[in-house]
Structure 1
């Protein structure tokens, strides 16, 4: 049964929260990053980009140590403050009519090991070890693992009740997203939430597979070095943001391939005919609307590809996944893409206007062919995780994307 723990978060002072909170480091362009670092001294980006202070790009162990130093400076300057008692932290994100809410907590490494916390993506051992070393050096985690649970009216009722109080933070970021955060600190309500989650058989990782795997790796290391290990130490847990299934938003990744693997256009279409009924679409942009149905852009034209279910075998949850079907029927056998993660001939795109961007890239000659899919559902994610299977890389782009630096978990 799922264990969740309150924790004493390191948080921005209330008057600085809007300045501290940052998007994921990878989301900034070079110009944006330089601007934030130059004009916002409170940004969390100063901590994770410590070389800016010295006008130098710093990497590896040296960077990890400097991240720790910048973190200590934020504490010394009271930009960050530590809560006096363990809490859960209710956090709501909203833009326009869309709102999503969940809460920060500490989840158990033991639950991860025992598959109560379920995964649907593979991790790369090198990246696991790198991030585990980073966590060990800096001593904190500022990016929670996004996890989901089956909608529960009792949890919703508690969160709605807690939202009747004034929030600790209430601000809007430049992307017009509103942010609110409340502390859940009453012993009775903390125990109530813990009891509810003890009845849940599973939590599902939506985003953050490497972060959770690295936390597990670090916990095993610290356990082996601690002769007085009890299981209650902070390193036995990692920060997570729990959100009900209905509030997870899942988007698709398009696939674009640089060449047709030596085939001419007509030869390629003939190869596709084995597994797909192919129809050329006369209208403009064309996007699929159902499972096992793909959109393809090739040589200035859109095609619909309908899977021939009489020749394709469904054997398990993975075999029914559209990203896997595309790999098994086109990407690997025809286009020769064997390593979806590392092959430089394939690229991925996501976002509201990505079909347009895919078409433009192919029209410019940057790629030869592109494929669009319908988004994978939370039901499919759970089926993969429950079966102990692994999705192909870039199967899902999941929101919400959380700001870094609002709550920090120390080891």
Structure 2
């Protein structure tokens, strides 16, 4: 199944960088223009200049965000701001973060290279659709720089947590890198170069399928880049670095592996009418109205808790459209969803909460077609539980739909069935930090067995 390999990472040189916190960044696709500017100011060597450089109206084919990233990348290596580890290694990577109830949890994982597999092989399984724009963007960056700057986030199943037990002793020593991001998440990295330890880790992963949790665009970009490089090198052996990609691996059965919900905000619907929507919803859902003060943080917490409780028993959503009421929507019968899917579609896909919301409510009742959903013409996706209420109260949005997160088993079952979940179905928190390790795709090097 999955084939992984150690690699010689490029890492920031602590002798050149006074504070490593100032050169790290979140993944490129969550960086707002405001944050991009802030990261630029933190340190002239912040990794944002590589993964999401600023654009300029004077950009040309010879001078643009990709060519500037390549120039910075080359210069930082020459100046030894980035230095390469001497030995092929696997990098243990833990993230410690607090939950909303105050409990502190740790998600354990590691980073290594993995052999790029076509999805048809069944060895690497996606669960989300991708868009052409981001893939073109990432491919241009990979061509220009010849490197993987951010790891793809994958999960595997190991109820025995064998790898966590195997690496426990390594994690007892002081980490090689310890930084804290803007959300207060603590990131710790250990370089593991012992060949025997690496061999044991490889043997544990080699027989497992991998599920992409985050980074679908980057993985498909890696496939496209590999294919381009194979055309340039028709005598390839399969061990060249372009046949592999940087990946983070974490156990879906670990207690620190959690999925958070992504809520939906609706705006710009000319025909939106709450009473009519509620009448339509009552055909398919048990609708329970509750008095609610959206400005009261205690009441917002109670809404979240009540939605979670309802979600344990059935498929439940919550609707807020102002007016001092919140509505809990509980699907009457799962068979209702058969109307919206081909009979060959797996039950795991038909009965996802997000499928119920997108197919039944957005498409059928509100008339937001799939194209408008994909383009986010009338939708906005938000992670924070408080933001939807504030956005509706302000009048900027017409309604908010509050979600429970999908279960890990649902993600696995949809991926195993070869299906894709609706857009923004999963939110694996915390996000992986970019800047801890970089994989240079050197054309004259091969994988170490």
> TM-score, length-normalised on structure 2?
0.84
Q: State yes or no: 1:308 paired with 2:332.
A: yes
Matches within 5 A, 1:346-361: 346-351=379-384, 354=385, 356-361=386-391
1:117 is aligned to 124
Cα deviation 1:368-409 (Å, max 9, x = unaligned) = 222111110111000000000110001111122111111001
The structure 2 residue matched to 1:20, chosen from 18, 23, 40, is 23
Provide closer, same or farther for how the CA distance between residues 345 and 131 of structure 1 changes in structure 2, counting only shifts above 3 A: same
SS in 2 for 1:332: helix
Cα deviation 1:199-218 (Å, max 9, x = unaligned) = 22x11111000000110011
Query: RMSD over aligned Cα, in angstroms?
Result: 2.3
The structure 2 residue matched to 1:92, chosen from 83, 91, 94, is 94
Q: State yes or no: 1:275 paired with 2:284.
A: yes
Cα deviation 1:1-46 (Å, max 9, x = unaligned) = 1111111111111343333222234545545443442342232123
Matches within 5 A, 1:236-385: 236-245=243-252, 246=254, 247-258=256-267, 262=271, 264-284=273-293, 285=300, 286-287=303-304, 288-289=307-308, 290=311, 291-300=314-323, 301-309=325-333, 312-313=336-337, 316-339=347-370, 340-351=373-384, 354=385, 356-385=386-415
The answer as to whether partners of 2:262 and 2:381 remain within 8 angstroms in 1 is yes
SS in 2 for 1:393: coil
The answer as to whether partners of 1:14 and 1:168 remain within 8 angstroms in 2 is no
Q: State yes or no: 1:189 paired with 2:197.
A: yes
1:389 is aligned to 419
The answer as to whether partners of 2:8 and 2:87 remain within 8 angstroms in 1 is yes
Q: State yes or no: 1:158 paired with 2:166.
A: yes
Provide closer, same or farther for how the CA distance between residues 217 and 308 of structure 1 changes in structure 2, counting only shifts above 3 A: same
Following the alignment from structure 1 to structure 2, what is the Cα–Cα distance between the partners of residues 91 and 148? 14
Structure 2 gap ranges (5+):
99-103, 294-299, 339-345, 442-449
Following the alignment from structure 1 to structure 2, what is the Cα–Cα distance between the partners of residues 7 and 296? 48
CA shift at 1:131, angstroms?
A: 1.7
Cα deviation 1:40-63 (Å, max 9, x = unaligned) = 2232123345559xx877587722
Cα deviation 1:164-190 (Å, max 9, x = unaligned) = 333222344454332321111111111
Following the alignment from structure 2 to structure 1, what is the Cα–Cα distance between the partners of residues 403 and 334? 21
CA shift at 1:248, angstroms?
A: 2.2
Q: State yes or no: 1:400 paired with 2:430.
A: yes
Following the alignment from structure 1 to structure 2, what is the Cα–Cα distance between the partners of residues 170 and 369? 41
Following the alignment from structure 1 to structure 2, what is the Cα–Cα distance between the partners of residues 327 and 365? 23
Following the alignment from structure 1 to structure 2, what is the Cα–Cα distance between the partners of residues 263 and 283? 21
Following the alignment from structure 2 to structure 1, what is the Cα–Cα distance between the partners of residues 53 and 357? 42
SS in 1 for 2:239: coil
SS in 2 for 1:388: coil
2:101 is aligned to none
What number of residue pairs does the alignment pair up? 405
Following the alignment from structure 1 to structure 2, what is the Cα–Cα distance between the partners of residues 263 and 110? 45
The answer as to whether partners of 1:112 and 1:216 remain within 8 angstroms in 2 is no
Matches within 5 A, 1:140-155: 140-151=147-158, 152-155=160-163
1:2 is aligned to 2
Following the alignment from structure 2 to structure 1, what is the Cα–Cα distance between the partners of residues 366 and 199? 55
The answer as to whether partners of 2:185 and 2:430 remain within 8 angstroms in 1 is no
Provide closer, same or farther for how the CA distance between residues 84 and 251 of structure 1 changes in structure 2, counting only shifts above 3 A: same
> TM-score, length-normalised on structure 1?
0.91
The structure 1 residue matched to 2:110, chosen from 103, 108, 121, is 103
CA shift at 1:261, angstroms?
A: 5.2
CA shift at 1:276, angstroms?
A: 1.1
Provide closer, same or farther for how the CA distance between residues 335 and 50 of structure 1 changes in structure 2, counting only shifts above 3 A: closer
The answer as to whether partners of 2:118 and 2:223 remain within 8 angstroms in 1 is no
Provide closer, same or farther for how the CA distance between residues 18 and 113 of structure 1 changes in structure 2, counting only shifts above 3 A: farther
SS in 2 for 1:333: helix
